[in-house]
Amino acid sequence: MSMPSQEPDGPGAGDDTASAVGAPAPLDRTPDLGPEPGREPEPASAEVPPSPRSGWKAVSLIPHDCKEPPASLADDLAQATWATVSAPWHPSLLSRSAAVPRIESLDSPVPPAPREIRIVPEGHLQRLPSGYMTQAEDAGAVVLEAGGDRAALVSKIQELLGAVGTPETSDDPGMIAAADDFLALGTARWMVRDLASAMGHEAAVNEEALSREVLAGADAWQACDRPTAVNRLRAAFEVLTQAREKFYPVDAYIVDLCLLDPELPPGSLAGPLDAHLAISFIAPARAIEAQAAGDPAGLERLRAAIDEGWADVAGGTYAEPEDLLLPLESVLWQFRRGAEVYRAHLDDRSVETYARRRFGLHPHVPQVAKRFGLRYAVHLGFDAGRFPVRPEPKRLWESPDGSNLESILRPPMAADRPSQGMLLPWRLAATMRNDHVATLPLAHWPTPVASWYLDVRRSAGYSPVLGRWVTLNDYFHLTDRPYETFRPDPDSYIDPYLTQALANRDRRPISRSARHHRLRAGLDATAWLRAMALAIPGVPAPAGGNEAAEGLPSTDAAEATLEAGDHPSAGREIEALQVAWAGRLAVAIAGAGARESAEARPGYLVLNPAGVPRRVAVMLADAPPGLHPEGPLRASQAIDGGVAAVVDVPAFGFAWIPAAAGAEPSPAPEPGVSAAGRILRNESIEVEIDESTGGIRAVMAVGESTARLGQQLVLNGLGKDDDKPAISQMKAESFQVDHDGPALVQATSKGSLVDPRGGLRLAGFTQRYRLWTGRPMLELDVTIHDIHRAAIDRMQGPAALREPWKYALACRWAWPDPGSMIRRTVFEAAELTELEQVSTPGCVDVSTRSQRTAIVFGGLPHHRRHGTRMLDTLLVAGMEEERSFRLGVVLDLEFPFQASADMLTPAPVVRTTTGPPPQGPRGWLIFLDQRSVAVTHVSFAETTGEDRPWGLVVHLIETAGHSSRCRVRFFRNPTWARQVDFQGDTVLDLSFEGDGVLVDLSPNEMARVEVTLG
Is the pLDDT at 843 greater than 70? The verdict is yes
Residues 6 or more apart whose Cβ sits within 8 Å of residue 582: 529, 607, 908, 910
Q: What does pLDDT average to over the chain?
A: 89
Note the CATH number of domain 253-494.
3.20.110.10
Of the candidate ranges 246-260, 395-409, 818-832, 936-950, the one whose mean pLDDT is the lowest:
936-950
What is the reported pLDDT for 157? Answer: 92
Q: What's the Cα-to-Cα distance from 901 to each of 218, 520, 651, rounded to whole Å?
A: 74, 11, 11
Name the residue type at position 120. V
Is the pLDDT at 170 greater than 90? The verdict is no
Tens of pLDDT, residues 904-920: 999 999 999 888 898 89
Instruction: Name the pairing type of β-strands 439-444 and 253-259.
Output: parallel
Q: How confident is the model at residue 718 (pLDDT cuts 50, 70, 90)?
A: confident
Q: How confident is the model at residue 398 (pLDDT cuts 50, 70, 90)?
A: very high
Element (H, E) at 14: none
Tens of pLDDT, residues 199-218: 999 888 999 999 999 999 99
What is the reported pLDDT for 552? Answer: 79
What does the pLDDT average to over 300-308?
96
User: Is-above-0.85 flag for pTM?
Assistant: yes
Name the residue type at position 300. E
Helix axes of 285-294 and 328-345: crossing angle, nearest 10 degrees = 40
What does the pLDDT average to over 277-305?
96
Residue range 925-1013 in CATH 2.60.40: yes
How far apart are alpha carbons 473 and 791 in whole angstroms? 52
C-beta separation of 356 from 316 below 8 A:
yes
Note the CATH number of domain 677-904.
2.70.98.30
Residues 6 or more apart whose Cβ sits within 8 Å of residue 959: 828, 829, 830, 895, 897, 932, 933, 934, 1004
Is the pLDDT at 29 greater than 50? The verdict is no
Tens of pLDDT, residues 882-907: 999 999 999 999 999 999 999 999 99
Report the b/e string of 419-443 with b at 16+ CB within 10 A. Answer: bbbbbbbbbbbebbeebebbbbbbb
Q: Give the dihedral of Cα atoms 945, 946, 950, 951; nearest 10 deg.
A: -30
Q: What is the DSSP code (8-state) at residue 518?
A: H
Q: How confident is the model at residue 10 (pLDDT cuts 50, 70, 90)?
A: very low
What does the pLDDT average to over 250-275?
95
In the chain, the percentage of residues whose pLDDT exceeds 90 is: 79
What does the pLDDT average to over 77-99?
95
Is the pLDDT at 156 greater than 60? The verdict is yes
Q: What's the Cα-to-Cα distance from 936 to each of 29, 94, 330, 794, rounded to whole Å?
A: 55, 70, 11, 40
Tens of pLDDT, residues 764-777: 999 999 999 999 99
Q: How confident is the model at residue 43 (pLDDT cuts 50, 70, 90)?
A: very low
Tens of pLDDT, residues 972-1013: 999 999 999 999 999 999 999 999 999 999 999 999 999 999
What does the pLDDT average to over 933-961?
92
Q: Residue 887: CA atoms inside 13 Å, Cβ hemisphere, count?
A: 26
What does the pLDDT average to over 286-294?
96
Is the pLDDT at 46 greater than 80? The verdict is no
What is the reported pLDDT for 671? Answer: 67
Tens of pLDDT, residues 615-647: 999 998 788 887 888 889 999 988 887 899 999
Q: How confident is the model at residue 289 (pLDDT cuts 50, 70, 90)?
A: very high
C-beta separation of 492 from 122 below 8 A:
no
Q: What's the Cα-to-Cα distance from 168 to each of 149, 489, 579, 691, 835, rounded to whole Å?
A: 18, 61, 77, 87, 62
What is the reported pLDDT for 35? Answer: 42
How far apart are alpha carbons 519 and 512 in whole angstroms? 11
What does the pLDDT average to over 120-130?
92
Cis before residue 542, ω within 30 degrees of 0? Answer: yes
Q: What is the DSSP code (8-state) at residue 274?
A: H
Tens of pLDDT, residues 635-679: 998 888 789 999 999 999 999 999 887 656 556 566 689 999 999
Instruction: Name the pairing type of β-strands 57-62 and 102-105.
Output: parallel
Q: Which of 419, 443, 409, 526 is nearest to 908 (CA)?
A: 526
